[in-house]
A = this chain, B = another copy of it.
Amino acid sequence: MNVLALSHSNGIAARISKYLDIPLIRAQRKKFPDGEIYVRIPQALDDTTIIVQSLEYPQSENFIELLECIEAARGLNTQRIITIIPYLAYARQDKRFLEGEPITVKIILKTLESLGVDALITVDIHQERSLKEWLSIPARNVLPYKEIASYFKNKLESPLVLAPDKGALKRAKLVAEQLNTDFDYNEKKRDRITGEVTVLPRKINVENRDIIIVDDIISTGGTITLATKSALENGANKVYVACTHALLINGALDRIFSAGATEVVATDTVKSPISKISVAPTLANALKEFI
Contact = CB atoms under 8 A, between A and B. Distances in A.
B35 A57 contact: yes
A67 B108 CA distance: 9
Given A43-B100, A101-B39, A115-B110, A57 B34 contact: yes
A99 B115 contact: no
Contacts of A90: 36
B107 A71 contact: yes
A69 B100 CA distance: 9
A38 B110 CA distance: 18
Interface in A42-85: 42-43, 57-61, 63-64, 67-72, 75-76
A89 B219 CA distance: 31
Given A33-B220, A115-B110, A102 B63 contact: no
A249 B125 CA distance: 39
Nearest to A91: B36
Nearest to A252: B33
Contacts of A35: 57-60
Most buried by B among A34, A72, A75, A219: A34
A104 B33 CA distance: 16
A219 B40 contact: no
A75 B103 contact: yes
Q: Quick one: copies of this chain in the complex? A: 2
Contacts of A64: 60, 63, 107
A34 B250 CA distance: 9
Contacts of A247: 34
A101 B30 CA distance: 12
A201 to B, nearest CB: 28
A106 B41 contact: no
Nearest to A37: B60
A219 B34 contact: yes
A104 B68 contact: yes
Interface string A177-221: 000000000000000000000000000000000000000000110
Most buried by B among A76, A101, A110: A101
A102 B72 contact: yes
B72 A101 contact: yes
B75 A101 contact: yes
Interface of A: 33-43, 57-61, 63-64, 67-72, 75-76, 89-90, 93, 96, 98-104, 106-107, 110-111, 114-115, 219-220, 247, 249-250
Given A34-B247, A70-B102, A72-B102, 11 more contacts: A34-B57, A36-B90, A39-B102, A68-B102, A71-B102, A71-B106, A72-B100, A75-B103, A76-B100, A107-B115, A111-B111
Nearest first, the 10 A-B pairs at minimum CB distance are A114-B114, A71-B102, A41-B100, A72-B102, A68-B102, A60-B60, A35-B57, A33-B249, A60-B61, A60-B64
